[in-house]
Amino acid sequence: MGEVDGGEVDGGGRDGGGRDGSEVDGGPEVAHRLVVVTLNTHSFQEGASSLAKLEQIGVGLAQVGADVVGLNEVMAGTFWAYDFGGAQHDGAALIQAALERTSGVPWHLARQGFAHWADGEEMSNVLLSRFPLLETDDAWLTTTDFWPAPGEQRNVLYGRIALPGRGLVNVFVTHTAGYDSVDVPAQIREVRLFMAAKFRRDELLDLLLGDLNAPAGGPLYQAWLESPPFRLFDGFALAAPESFDQPTLVHGTDRIDYVLAGEGLPYGHDPARIRSRRIFDGTAVDGVVLPVVSDHYGVMTTYLLDP
């Protein structure tokens, strides 16, 4: 099971009341929307500025009002490269601390490493939630192509979240192999089967977040969306069809980072209920400019939960 950390304090929706879980206007707090972000952090690849970058990520996520965040390539361990001199750092914990300090509420964290180096460094998939994680789990994926590390085993991370006044949300975070890897078909099948095993048919939303290494519109993308036994819906494509293939690679032409929703209740596939855009791309979100912090841009998708 993935590592879990975080306080046991209910978070709250910004539109529904106090963020400390208090009652507002005579009734319990209700989440009116869910703000979901995915970002490949490319952690500790920037030398001396790496720690500042992780701080920027946490602060920026809080500033845009994120509720649920899936992160890829989050590094932790003992670092010798870039003149760190063997110092120990935990990228996920640093982002979590910046989130908590900026938002003023506890955040809950789960992670599972998928690449390991001999000197003690580990790269992980990470789930951060402003709401309690009722359950976490993970599953290993077929891995015969070893990048970025010899000690690699790709995985999918799972968390079940209680959304105040609304119900339950299943969240899955993964970072699958590169475009041309022979492992990709097996990994797509294994992630989707793991998801299906976790569906209980009582969720408000089922969400898959991450760097899927599948260019928008291509055959791998279609496999993620359409392979049996269920469909997934691309929030970015539904909300911004005119920008369907807007890149999420800073130095590339492909969109490969996604927030996908299952086909249960209509919140995840009704375009009228979805807002989606790139973030951490140097442009302003609600007046806040989020700098480029990785070799990927992030994606933020907001699900509107009221009629």
pLDDT in tens, 81-123: 666 777 888 999 999 999 999 999 999 999 999 998 877 889 9
**301 φ, ψ (degrees, to nearest 5):** -125, 130
Residue (of 194, 139, 198) closest to 168 by Cα position: 198
Helix or strand run (H / E) with residue 226: helix 219-226
Query: What pLDDT score does 148 carry?
Result: 80
Mean pLDDT for the chain overall = 89
Query: What pLDDT score does 5 carry?
Result: 55
pLDDT in tens, 28-83: 589 999 999 999 999 888 777 889 999 999 999 999 999 999 999 999 987 776 66
Helix or strand run (H / E) with residue 212: none
Is the whole model's pTM more than 0.85, yes or no? yes
Give Cα separations from 144 to 141, 178, 213 (angstroms). Answer: 10, 12, 16
User: Does residue 21 carry a pLDDT above 70?
Assistant: no
* CA 31/CA 24 separation, integer angstroms: 12
User: Does residue 22 carry a pLDDT above 80?
Assistant: no
Query: What pLDDT score does 139 carry?
Result: 98
297 near 270, Cβ under 8 Å? no
Task: Give burial (CB, 10 Å; 0-12/13-18/19+) of 145.
Answer: middle
Give Cα separations from 170 to 19, 159, 241, 278 (angstroms). Answer: 22, 6, 25, 23
* CA 23/CA 17 separation, integer angstroms: 7
Query: What pLDDT score does 25 carry?
Result: 32
When comparing pLDDT for 2 and 152, which is higher?
Answer: 152
Tell me: cis bond preceding 148? Omega within 30 of 0 counts.
yes
Query: What pLDDT score does 193 carry?
Result: 96
Residue (of 307, 294, 300) closest to 252 by Cα position: 294
* Tokens, residue 291: 């700098």
pLDDT in tens, 131-169: 999 999 999 999 999 888 888 999 999 999 999 999 999
When comparing pLDDT for 293 and 147, which is higher?
Answer: 293
Least confident of 147-156, 213-222, 238-247: 147-156
* CA 286/CA 281 separation, integer angstroms: 14
Query: What pLDDT score does 28 carry?
Result: 55
Query: What pLDDT score does 13 carry?
Result: 31
Determine the residue type at 290.
Answer: L
Helix or strand run (H / E) with residue 174: strand 167-175
* CA 130/CA 21 separation, integer angstroms: 11
User: Does residue 127 carry a pLDDT above 60?
Assistant: yes
Give Cα separations from 295 to 26, 87, 152, 222 (angstroms). Answer: 46, 24, 21, 24
Alpha carbon 15 to chain centroid, angstroms:
22
Radius of gyration of the chain, Cα coordinates, nearest whole angstrom: 18
User: Does residue 12 carry a pLDDT above 80?
Assistant: no
142 near 183, Cβ under 8 Å? yes
DSSP state of 84: T
SS3 38: strand
**252 CB-near residues (< 8 Å, 6+ apart):** none
pLDDT band at 201 (very low <50, low <70, confident <90, very high): confident
